[in-house]
Amino acid sequence: MNVLLDHFADFREGFVGTVLLTLASGLLAMVLGVVIAGFRVSPVPPLRAFGTAWVTLFRNTPLTLLFLIAWFVVPVIFAPGMSPWTKALLALSFYTSAFVCEAVRSGITTVPLGQAEAARSLGMTFSQTLRLIVLPQATRTVVAPLSSIFIALTKNSAIAGAFSVTELFGWQKTLSDQGYAIAWIFLWVALGYLVITFSISGLFQLLERRLGVAR
């Protein structure tokens, strides 16, 4: 019981670390995912090919492998001196963006083709059609899968702890090394994650209800 009270500052730091990492990678994954989904449905073949390659690469690579690449390959080839937090952010958000992209793309396919055709016949460009007509109508079907994707992201962020980024899961390792009872530590860590994931699903349920009455 007193493991939490004795080390509350560390626990809080880990909790905040997880929340921040999840938020930041969630945001970046969202932006990347929507843009890549746009690429995948665009009329420009090179963009489509890029989108397909991105999704294939990041959806089919184990996340741990992406972390290893971010830690040991990226610094050597591209950007030396990147902080561990940035590396974790990139690995998590690139990985998650592939899933966001596919959720958004399947949402796009639920919007009747006639909507985009009407927009194009008015003289809207491809990006206007996507932004103003198709994506807003895809939102409702995308919300539910996005909720699962972000919950998965929260849990996936634990991998960053193994790579010495300060976050909730890493707290467990530090303290069990100090000899505290492991069951209690795990309980507190699990509760920490539950708070985050419950907040996410609550938020998305609210969003879903909002979008439900909008029309």
Partner 1 sequence: MTEVSVAEEDKAATGELVVLKSVNKHFGALHVLQDIDLTIARGEVVVVIGPSGSGKSTLCRTVNRLETIDSGTISIDGRPLPQEGKELARLRADVGMVFQSFNLFAHKTVLENVMLGQVKVRKADKKQAEDKARALLDRVGVGAQADKYPAQLSGGQQQRVAIARALAMDPKVMLFDEPTSALDPEMINEVLEVMQQLARDGMTMIVVTHEMGFARSAANRVVFMADGRIVEQAAPDQFFSSPRSDRAKDFLSKILHH
Residues numbered 153-172 forming contacts with partner 1, rule: CB under 8 A: none
Q: Give the residue, chosen from 71, 120, 155, 184, that forms a contact with partner 1 under the rule CB under 8 A.
A: 120
Interface with partner 1 by CB under 8 A: which range of 21-29, 72-80, 97-105, 121-129? 121-129
CA atoms within 13 A on the CB side of 132: 13
Q: Give the residue, chosen from 136, 173, 199, 210, that forms a contact with partner 1 under the rule CB under 8 A.
A: 136
Residue 49 found at the interface with partner 1 (CB under 8 A) = no
Residue 75 found at the interface with partner 1 (CB under 8 A) = no
The amino acid that residue 134 corresponds to is: V
CA atoms within 13 A on the CB side of 20: 14
Residue 141 found at the interface with partner 1 (CB under 8 A) = no
Cβ at position 108, least distance to partner 1 in Å: 14
| Alpha carbons 162 and 52: distance in angstroms, whole number | 30
Q: Give the residue, chosen from 6, 16, 65, 112, that forms a contact with partner 1 under the rule CB under 8 A.
A: 112
Cβ at position 82, least distance to partner 1 in Å: 38
| Alpha carbons 146 and 138: distance in angstroms, whole number | 12
Which of 22, 23, 34 is closest to 139 using CA atoms?
Answer: 34
Residue 164 is classified by DSSP as T
Judged by CB under 8 A, the number of residues near partner 1 is 21
Residue 207 found at the interface with partner 1 (CB under 8 A) = no
Residue 214 found at the interface with partner 1 (CB under 8 A) = yes
What spatial distance separates the first Cα and last Cα of the chain, rounded to whole Å? Answer: 50
Interface with partner 1 by CB under 8 A: which range of 84-92, 113-121, 152-160, 193-201? 113-121
Helices 45-59 and 84-109 pack at an angle, to 10 degrees, of: 120
Return the beta strands (E) in 29-158 as ranges: none
Site residues (CB under 8 A) for partner 1?
Answer: 43, 112, 114-115, 117-126, 128, 132-133, 136-137, 214-215
